[in-house]
A and B are shown apart, each in its own frame.
Chain A
Amino acid sequence: MTDPLPPPPKKNPQVRTVSPTRPPEARSRTALGLSAAAAEGRFALQHCDDCGKVQYPPRDACSGCLSTELRWKDTDTKGTLLAETTIHTSTKLYFRERTPWRTGSVQLDAGPVIICHLHGDCVRNGRVDIINRLDRSGQAVLLALPSQRSPHMEDDPQLRAMTSDPKHRRILITDARNPNTPEIVKALCDAGASMIFVGLSEAWRPSPTVDALSAMDKVDMLPLDVTDTHSVQKLAGAIGGKTDILINNARFLRPGGVLARSDTSFAKEEMEVNYFGLMRLAQSFGPAMASRTADGVNASVAWVNILSVHALSSQPEFGCFSASNAAARSLSQSLRAEFRASGLRVMNLYCGPTEDEWYQPLPPPKVTPQAVARTLVTGLQNGLEETYCGDVAKDVFERFRDNPLILERETTLAGDGA
Chain B
Amino acid sequence: MGKRQSYDGVVLCAPFTTAYQRYSIETAHWWIARALKGSLDLAGLRPSEIDGFTVSSFTLFPDTAVGLTQHLGLSPRWLDHIPMGGASGVVALRRAARAVQSGDADIVACVAGDTNHIDSFRLMLSSFSRFASDASYPYGYGGPNANFALLTDRYMQEFGATREDFGKICVAQRQNALSNPGAVMKKPLTLEQYLAAKPISDPIALFDCVMPCAGSEAFLVMSEEEAAKRALPYARISGAIERHNAHAEDPIQLRGGWSVDIDELWDMASCAPVDMDLVQTYDDYPVISAMQIEDLGFCPKGEAPSFLRDKDMTIKGDFPHNTSGGQLSAGQAGAAGGFIGLVEAIRQVTGQAGPTQVAGASSALVSGFGMINYDRGVCSAAAVITGGAR
A interface residue numbers (CB < 8 A to B): 23-24, 26-28, 30-31, 56-58, 63, 82-92, 94-95, 101, 103-105, 107, 113-117, 124-125, 135, 137, 139, 141
Contacts and interface: CB of A to CB of B under 8 A. Distances in A.
A349 B142 CA distance: 36
A27 B133 contact: yes
Contacts of B202: 85-86, 88
Nearest to B200: A89
26 contacts: A23-B138, A24-B141, A26-B126, A28-B133, A31-B133, A82-B251, A84-B153, A85-B150, A85-B153, A86-B201, A87-B145, A87-B200, A87-B201, A88-B201, A88-B202, A91-B121, A91-B143, A92-B141, A95-B142, A103-B142, A105-B150, A115-B136, A115-B147, A117-B139, A124-B153, A135-B138
Contacts of A56: 135
B146 A103 contact: yes
Contacts of A27: 133-134
Nearest to B121: A91
Given A63-B248, A87-B200, 11 more contacts: A24-B141, A84-B153, A87-B145, A88-B198, A88-B202, A95-B142, A104-B150, A115-B139, A115-B375, A124-B153, A141-B139
A107 B133 CA distance: 20
A87 B146 contact: yes
B150 A103 contact: yes
Contacts of B139: 103, 115-117, 141
Contacts of B150: 82-85, 103-105, 115
B145 A89 contact: yes
B141 A91 contact: yes
B374 A57 contact: yes
Nearest to A85: B149
Given A57-B135, A113-B251, A83 B157 contact: yes
Interface in B228-251: 248, 251
Contact of B201 (A57, A89, A117): A89
Given A105-B252, A105-B375, A82 B154 contact: yes
Contacts of B145: 87, 89
Contact of A28 (B121, B130, B142, B147): B130
Contacts of B374: 57, 115
Contacts of B317: none
Nearest to A23: B138
B151 interface: yes
Given A105-B375, A115-B150, A141-B139, A88 B252 contact: no
A117 B131 CA distance: 16
Interface residues of B, number: 38
B276 interface: no
A319 B375 CA distance: 52
A36 to B, nearest CB: 14
A23 B157 CA distance: 30
Q: Which of A63, A82, A92 has the most CB of B within 10 A?
A: A92
Nearest to A92: B141
B390 interface: no
Nearest to A32: B134
Contacts of A24: 126, 133, 137-138, 141
Contacts of B122: 91
B355 interface: no
Contacts of A87: 140, 142, 145-146, 149, 200-201
B204 interface: yes
Interface in B165-204: 198-204
Nearest to A25: B138
Contact of B151 (A26, A58, A83): A83
A139 B138 contact: yes
A117 B153 CA distance: 16
Contacts of A101: 140
A26 B142 contact: no
Contacts of B252: 82-83, 105, 113
A23 B125 CA distance: 14
Contact of B251 (A23, A57, A86, A105): A105
A88 B199 contact: yes
A141 B137 CA distance: 10
Given A91-B143, A101-B140, A105-B375, A58 B154 contact: no
B133 A26 contact: yes
A197 to B, nearest CB: 34
A3 B272 CA distance: 56
Contact of B146 (A57, A85, A94, A124): A85
A37 B368 CA distance: 39
Interface string B354-390: 0000000000000000000011000000000000000
